[in-house]
Amino acid sequence: MMNAIVIVFPHSHHRLCQWHINQNAPSHFGSLNGDSAFKKLWHKCMTYYESKDEFEAQLRYMIDKYNLDDHKWLNGIYRLKEKWATTFSNGKFSVGLLATSRNEVTNMILKKAGNKISSLYEFVMNYAKIHDNWRVKEKAEDTRCLHDKAAQILKNHPLLIHVANVYIITIYQLFEIELQIC
């Protein structure tokens, strides 16, 4: 799939699902699974670091501390680091979705639409109901945004005024939170 994405969508940024990697990792880490310090280092490498240098230094520290230079799975996943480590996606627009959340949300939606004993017809009809519900919520949000303006924490801030006019209220509120963190 990775090779096809590069050809069909050459300007896209394809990410691997961190949730799947974390589900797969324990089968490769053996006795390290019981080491909470190791698990904390691994999690930080996946999601925490802002800079590539921080990521590389922390991963090197973990590899050295736990003598993982020859760890086949870790070396293989390291070669794909741009596809799973959050630090390599910081500059990429992702609509606020993390690689971990996409899978969980998709699975939840598909489980609501059907199960092992559902017919294909039942699944499609249930999915259509879910989809219709999304559209109703989207129209309600559009109406809300048409008639209301987002409450601004910083009044008369030129950037926030512009963003409030461009984004829907929900996205504006997420933007404002990010701005406060910075």
CA 44 to centroid of chain Cα atoms: 15
30: left (phi over 0), alpha (psi -120 to 50) or beta: left
pLDDT at 175: 83
pLDDT value, residue 96 = 52
For residue 84, the model assigns a pLDDT of 85
- 77, 103, 122, 124, 130 from 108: Cα distances, Å: 27, 8, 17, 15, 11
d(CA 131, CA 109): 10
CA angle 61, 62, 63 (to 5 degrees): 90
Mean pLDDT by 10 residues, the chain (182 residues): 87 82 89 90 84 92 94 93 84 59 67 87 90 88 76 72 82 80 62
Predicted local confidence at residue 64, as pLDDT? 95
Q: Over the stretch 30-76, which tens digit does the pLDDT of each residue have?
A: 889 889 899 998 988 888 887 899 999 999 999 999 999 999 999 99
pLDDT score for 44 = 86
The answer to whether 150 and 172 have CB atoms below 8 angstroms apart is yes
Q: What's the pLDDT at 152?
A: 65
Q: Are 8 and 93 in contact (CB under 8 A)?
A: no
Residue 61 pLDDT: 94
Q: CA of 63: how far to CAs of 80, 96, 134, in Å?
A: 16, 31, 45
